[in-house]
Structure 1
Amino acid sequence: VKVYDVGSQQRVAFVERPRTEAAAVAAAGGPAAAGARPSLQWAPGGTELVIGWSSCVKVCKVRSGGPGPGAAGGAAGVGGGGSPGNALTRASVDVVATLGCDGTLCGVAHMLAPSPTPHADAGARQLVMLVCPGPEAVEGGVQARAHTQQRPELRLVDMSNEELASDALSVRGFDAYYPPDYRLVCAPAREDAYDALSSGEALYYVVSPKDIVLACARDADDHVMWLLSKGRFEEALAECGIAGWAAAGDSQTRRLKASTLDEVGAAYLGHLLAQHEYERAAAMCPALLRGSTEAWERWVFHFAHLRQLPALAPHIPTTAPQLRPTCYEVVLNGLLAADAGKGAHETLLECVRAWPASLYSAPDVTAVAEARLSTLEAEVRAAGGGIDFTDGAASEGAALRPLREAMAELYVIAGAHERALGAFLDAGDGARAVGFVRRRRLWGAARARCAALLKHGGAAAAAILAEHTSEVSTSAVVAAVDAAIARARASDASSTDGEVAQLRGALNKYLDALFERDPTAGAEVHGRQVELYAEFAPDRLMRFLRASPYYPLEDALAVCQRYNLHSEAVYVLGRMGSAEQALQLVLGELRDVPRAVEFCADQADDDLWDELVARALEDPELAGELLEHVGAHLNPLRVLRHLPEGVPIPHLRDRLARIVSDFRTQSSLREGCNAILKADCAQAADARLASGRRALRVPVVLDSSVLASNDPMNTPVPRRGKRGIQGSGRCCLCLEPIIGTGGEAGRKGFVAFYCGHTYHTSCLEMAERDENVGAGAGAGEEGAGAQVPWR
């Protein structure tokens, strides 16, 4: 191959054919020599030339010697790669690589990158070869025509002659063709290409007598589609960078077409559904469908066809994208149509709570739900032997609870609050029912369903009904619970006893909450409340017995005896006046000496103490305990004197020692208290004496006029000043100033009392004489001399 520079009008290089191949071609001559012509291919920019012979490829590097006079123009490029000399003067060519070929080479070209930039050789480091495999001629590589031909191969190799990829081409009549019958032509990418097949990429044409094969470089989409064709779905997902797989990167994902991503998602979902992995397929939908409304709707209907909507429903989007209302209604109706107890109704409840009501027609869904609930209730009643489950009374009705809760949520959406409350109670959701009543103030509906509300609402329902007795009266609640108990006892259900006990326990919680708020409320049922306390809360009965005076004592005693509540029975006997019987119960049944001592102390009856001592001395063990506990309330000598002789008392010596020790301690405490009292009295006397020795302040009245004594507003009244009590400064009899600035008032003596009243001495003497005269003259006359004005 001779390289000619049109710019300098001279040959610049001569690339020699391999010697072995040259000798074989010369010897063959004829058509074989014509078929052994080399293939030439210029790299973009004209800086590299590839020359291919039948068994050898040489890569030549063209180096420019500098610009010449022909730089402004030039001829067209050679081999489709542009002219090598349009900007070169006195160029040189160096062979930089020589590659061998296993087979007969029919053509060679550079592997071009898409949309190459000018003078860029990004794809020049890889070569595309069209090779006919098979045995070679002995004389240097010309294919023997007597041999049956194989399919031509399109190979991709790098500059180290390592094969990167290889594809065998299905060409019609390939078994009759020979290497000279094939050509490989490269068409570089063009930005202004109008051919839809080019897509901005370099195209490779493999030309044969009957077929033209168009090839291009495989991109990420081709690779992903190839992975799908091989069933390697996880690798395809990794290439797409979706669904949480080990992605190839954002740049890789951006190069993929949207149609490729959609096809990958559809293929993988179809594969999972074919394997019956419905849960996994549903969980993958948000990542695989990529927010496509059409894709979501298509797969919703597909899952509905497979009856696998319970798996898909939690993953259906409500925004971005938002589907048509029909899709959401299809999902809800599909969940309603599922059998109870298989998780579909739980999913329905979650969807109704999570989805905005604007996504679907709530009235239509509610109507379907009502019909479905009626059907399932009929089936459950038939299976349970005619039992009514509308109040959630039987265990078989637990399977319908999610559906009833969903019905309640639908009623709330529709604004039917009373029906929603009934649905909450039918579902057994007492907490939601109580909160709903409080929030919506549904006291009328609560009055109608108060028995079910107490049964399922527990302490919260009891508290709210006890708090609003003006809206729901106590008598109405008790009557409703009694009616529910009567219905439960009238049924033939095996769970009647449990139902009755549950209702009675609920009534006890309500009455207890009512009693905590107001001990006088519900007084008409306090007798019944004693039995409820004894049955369900015996630890709270004593407090009730002490606080309430409204229960019949005889009935309360009978209840306490029936439930063996001895402490409570003792209290009731004490209130009935049967103290001796109560004491006998304490000592006989309870054998509780401290409780007996406390009971006698509460009764404050001396005869009862004698009874206690007498009964305790009948049992040596009780006598010993009495000695140990009676010291704080009774003189121990009273017990010791009555101890029978010769009867052994357990731990008598220790108990006597303790009695003596306690007596000494009490004596010491008494002496100490007496000493403290004496010291306090002495201190108070000293304070009184010091107070009596202090001066008493009597103010000076500058106005010496006499006040009108018959005017009650002018009566001198002592007042408390900053330094203690002080008088008004006037005599309480004559109302003249005690201390004046002159005149008669200033020369009179006076008497001042610590209470603040002051008197002239002469006024006191005159009043005393008048009192004596009045007492002697008119002792029988009413009122005469009986009043002293200054007292």
Structure 2
Amino acid sequence: LLLYERGWMNRWKPLVLHEGEGNIRNVKWRGHLIAWANNMGVKILDMISKQRITNVPRDDISLRPDMYPCSLCWKDNLTLMIGWGNSVKICSVKERHASEMRDLPNRYVEIVFQFDTEFYISGLAPICDQLVILSYVKEISEKTEVECCARPRLDIVQPLPESCEEISSDALTVRGFQENECRDYHLEYSEGESLFYIISPRDVVVAKERDQDDHIDWLLEKKKYEEALMAAEISQKTIKKHKILDIGLAYINHLVEKGEYDLAARKCQKILGKNTELWEFEVYKFKEIGQLKAISRYLPRRDPVLKPLIYEMVLHEFLESDYEGFATLIKEWPGDLYNNTIIVQAVVDHLKKDPQNRTLLQTLAELYTYDQRYGRALEIYLTLRHKDVFQLIHKHNLFSSIRDKIVLLMDFDSEKAVDMLLDNEDKISIDRVVEELENRPEFQHVYLHKLFKRDHHKGQRYHEKQISLYAEFDRPNLLPFLRDSTHCPLEKALEICQQRNFVEETVYLLSRMGNSRRALKMIMEELQDVDKAIEFAKEQDDGELWEDLILYSIDKPPFITGLLNNIGTHVDPILLIHRIKEGMEIPNLRDSLVKILQDYNLQILLREGCKKILVADSLSLLKKMHRTQMKGVLVDEENICESCLSPILPSDASKSFSVVVFYCRHMFHRECLPVSNTVSSVQFCNICSAKHRGPGSAGLEMKK
């Protein structure tokens, strides 16, 4: 192996790189490295150091090197790929560490991948991190049962440390392959163009890496439209042959042909995008096959908007066969997509055939609402007793339209109706509502009751009426009403309660009118409830009532027991005990007496406890006041006399002075105080005394 170098005078000077090991079968030079193969193995020379850095011996020496030549290929400046016989080695040239050099070359070679194949190697080349191998294959003929040459293969494999993984394999049809040997094939590649040249005695085959267009072609051929569309979207900047829209339209047609109408309609959203012409074309296509319903859910509603005719066509389709679906579309679609008048008329025509159809009626109300014909919509909602009637009234301020429909609203939902009416008193007056509900007193009561709960005074003119309404429809709230109302005529209320024999209410009214004794008598005689009578007497806190209660109870042992249990905190129990007749059996007398004693002891304990607290607080406050008054008071140049407003201390410190300081921190020159306020007598601060403040009494005198 000779290397010719240009020397002095531009003459070529030969240099023997290697000799003596048979024929040189292959040479590859890249960068500063030269690799060659002879009958013994593969050598690599470093051109910088002019040293041979490795020798990779041949694995299978039984194969003739002329029949099975070595294939060499540089993947990059430092990686050499070797294919010989059925063996593949990938070698990496590395720098040797300085401490390891000694007399060794600067570089060395490490075999990073090594594996055997089931075929003979005629050539190899890199493709990304994989290998392209041109394989020479022999097979057994089925006819003669003799080994013969098969078509060569172009394999792509993924190298592994001790094996490989086959990625793809293609058999090549070349002329005369039956007569070719392993040495007759060669693989060369163009690194920049990713082209691979398979050379045989009669043919040259060019192979190239598949691009996305090829991949999409294959997917379309296999009718894998969804994958093709996805691949086109991912590679839309690199594909040249295909358009995403064309693939998408083909996908939609394919789905329609398969009968997957819903999926086809759903894909229209993504594929057709904002192209209104294509949208309209697809809608008509769906109409022809009777599948307008399938595409209805996916029609664009904003940006873009199709022609109104398209939406009307879909609505008519639903109106003929599916009222529920029609109603759903009316709710979901904005009203400006179609001609509202046309659709309203179509619904009216259908209602002539089925006037009680709730779905159509409700849909018609929604159409009227969009058309701002709120009065008609309100009538339908009230007829249907629809929950949205109140929302419609609020949203569109339809209070003028409901003045004669208050009973209908109350009949539908009295709670919501009352809340709405009370929230909008400025639009529908209280008087108008009461007048409208005159023939429905139960609704009148509900309205006035809520009005009273909100404001005890707003409906005062109706309080007399409310007495009868409460008595008729809501007795539990009659007594609270009587207690809270200050505009209720007591005589009228008493008359109604007596007529209906409402004892509790009558008792309350009698007590409020000042007839407490009669009220107590009713409790005792009508209710026979000693606890309530005692409670009533406690509320009134009237000694005469207690006397009446004792007189009434004195011959009734159960009443006496009740009094003994509750009277101790209001009346001296002795008054009751002295009046009990001898020999009268009183239930639980012992327990009642024990309770009286316990109540008495409790009162004593409470009083003593209160006394201790008062004494302790008084003592604590006295000590605090004493400590405060014992503290010194700072007097400096900034203080002034509260009488003459001049500085409290003289400017000349050598002069004598006399200052009086009160505990309220007010300061006076002694000569500025009234004559009666001398230090020897009881002193009072003029300022605090005038304002009746306690801390102004007593003071201190400072002299010099």
So what's the TM-score if we normalise by structure 2?
Answer: 0.51
Q: Which residue of 2 aligns with 1:216?
A: 209
1:155-180 CA-partner distances (Å, limit 9, x unpaired) = 33549684343434366799984656
Q: Which residue of 2 aligns with 1:196?
A: none
2:470 counterpart letter in structure 1? V
1:439-494 CA-partner distances (Å, limit 9, x unpaired) = 64432123233235446666564244236556434465356557789xxxxxxxxx
Q: Which residue of 2 aligns with 1:103?
A: 119
> Structure 1 pair 657/484, CA: closer, same or farther in 2 (3 Å)?
closer
1:103 counterpart letter in structure 2? F
For the pair 1:462 / 2:412, whether they are aligned, the reply is no
1:415 to 363, 372, 378: 372
2:510 and 2:321 map into 1 onto residues whose CA distance is 63
1:617 counterpart letter in structure 2? I
How far is 1:622 from its partner?
Answer: 1.7
How far is 1:420 from its partner?
Answer: 5.3
SS in 2 for 1:156: strand
1:16 counterpart letter in structure 2? N
The 8 Å contact of residues 526 and 550 in structure 1, kept in 2 or not, is answered as no
SS in 2 for 1:167: strand
For the pair 1:448 / 2:441, whether they are aligned, the reply is no
How far is 1:647 from its partner?
Answer: 1.9
For the pair 1:529 / 2:531, whether they are aligned, the reply is no
> Structure 1 pair 662/369, CA: closer, same or farther in 2 (3 Å)?
farther
How far is 1:128 from its partner?
Answer: 1.3
2:214 and 2:190 map into 1 onto residues whose CA distance is 21
The 8 Å contact of residues 621 and 649 in structure 1, kept in 2 or not, is answered as yes
> Structure 1 pair 262/504, CA: closer, same or farther in 2 (3 Å)?
farther
Q: Which residue of 1 aligns with 2:38?
A: 16
> Structure 1 pair 475/185, CA: closer, same or farther in 2 (3 Å)?
same
Query: Where does 1:160-559 land on structure 2 (aligned, <5 Å)?
Result: 162-169=163-170, 177=178, 179=180, 188=190, 202=195, 214-217=207-210, 222=215, 289=270, 292-293=273-274, 305=291, 322=304, 324=306, 349=331, 351=332, 378-379=356-357, 404=362, 412-419=369-376, 421=378, 434=390, 437-438=393-394, 440-454=396-410, 459=415, 461-466=417-422, 468-469=424-425, 471-474=427-430, 476-478=432-434, 506-507=446-447, 510=450, 512=452, 516-522=456-462, 525-531=465-471, 534=474, 537=477, 540-543=480-483, 547-549=487-489, 553=493, 556-557=496-497
1:475 and 1:630 map into 2 onto residues whose CA distance is 50
2:483 counterpart letter in structure 1? R
1:245-287 CA-partner distances (Å, limit 9, x unpaired) = xxxxxx999889996899799989999xx99999xx89x989x
1:129 to 125, 129, 133: 133
1:9 and 1:330 map into 2 onto residues whose CA distance is 91
1:174 and 1:558 map into 2 onto residues whose CA distance is 126
> Structure 1 pair 506/297, CA: closer, same or farther in 2 (3 Å)?
farther
How far is 1:510 from its partner?
Answer: 4.8
1:513 and 1:299 map into 2 onto residues whose CA distance is 64
Q: Which residue of 1 aligns with 2:504?
A: 567
> Structure 1 pair 103/634, CA: closer, same or farther in 2 (3 Å)?
closer
SS in 1 for 2:38: coil
1:573 and 1:229 map into 2 onto residues whose CA distance is 99
CA RMSD of aligned residues (A): 7.1
Q: Which residue of 2 aligns with 1:391?
A: none
The 8 Å contact of residues 137 and 151 in structure 2, kept in 1 or not, is answered as yes
Query: Where does 1:711-790 land on structure 2 (aligned, <5 Å)?
Result: none
2:541 and 2:344 map into 1 onto residues whose CA distance is 71
SS in 2 for 1:169: strand
1:448 counterpart letter in structure 2? D
2:120 and 2:602 map into 1 onto residues whose CA distance is 126
Q: Which residue of 2 aligns with 1:245?
A: none
1:636 and 1:61 map into 2 onto residues whose CA distance is 117
Q: Which residue of 1 aligns with 2:585?
A: 648
435-444 or 544-553, which deviates more: 544-553
1:611 and 1:338 map into 2 onto residues whose CA distance is 84
How far is 1:530 from its partner?
Answer: 1.4
1:587 counterpart letter in structure 2? M
Query: Where does 1:576-587 land on structure 2 (aligned, <5 Å)?
Result: 583=520, 585-587=522-524
Q: Which residue of 1 aligns with 2:155?
A: 154
The 8 Å contact of residues 534 and 560 in structure 1, kept in 2 or not, is answered as no
The 8 Å contact of residues 533 and 540 in structure 1, kept in 2 or not, is answered as no
1:162 and 1:480 map into 2 onto residues whose CA distance is 96
1:518 counterpart letter in structure 2? K
How far is 1:549 from its partner?
Answer: 2.1
1:367-406 CA-partner distances (Å, limit 9, x unpaired) = 67778899998356xxxxxxxxxxxxxxxxxxx69x95x8
SS in 2 for 1:462: helix
2:155 and 2:73 map into 1 onto residues whose CA distance is 19
The 8 Å contact of residues 151 and 171 in structure 2, kept in 1 or not, is answered as no
How far is 1:216 from its partner?
Answer: 1.6
How far is 1:615 from its partner?
Answer: 3.6
The 8 Å contact of residues 71 and 84 in structure 2, kept in 1 or not, is answered as no
> Structure 1 pair 521/225, CA: closer, same or farther in 2 (3 Å)?
farther
Structure 1 residues without counterparts, runs of 5 or longer: 27-32, 63-93, 113-122, 138-142, 191-199, 243-250, 381-399, 486-500, 669-791
2:491 and 2:201 map into 1 onto residues whose CA distance is 115
1:433 and 1:590 map into 2 onto residues whose CA distance is 49
How far is 1:241 from its partner?
Answer: 14
1:220 and 1:540 map into 2 onto residues whose CA distance is 87
1:216 counterpart letter in structure 2? E
2:200 and 2:366 map into 1 onto residues whose CA distance is 71
> Structure 1 pair 648/211, CA: closer, same or farther in 2 (3 Å)?
farther
> Structure 1 pair 587/164, CA: closer, same or farther in 2 (3 Å)?
same
1:563-619 CA-partner distances (Å, limit 9, x unpaired) = xx6422433577899988854552356444354356579999999877644543342
2:190 counterpart letter in structure 1? P
The 8 Å contact of residues 530 and 562 in structure 2, kept in 1 or not, is answered as yes
The 8 Å contact of residues 225 and 251 in structure 2, kept in 1 or not, is answered as no
How far is 1:437 from its partner?
Answer: 4.1
1:631-669 CA-partner distances (Å, limit 9, x unpaired) = 88888777566544422334453476589889999x99x
> Structure 1 pair 300/136, CA: closer, same or farther in 2 (3 Å)?
closer
1:551 and 1:306 map into 2 onto residues whose CA distance is 75
1:598 and 1:185 map into 2 onto residues whose CA distance is 116
How far is 1:537 from its partner?
Answer: 4.6
Q: Which residue of 1 aligns with 2:553?
A: 616
Higher share in strand = 2
> Structure 1 pair 479/100, CA: closer, same or farther in 2 (3 Å)?
same
For the pair 1:625 / 2:567, whether they are aligned, the reply is no
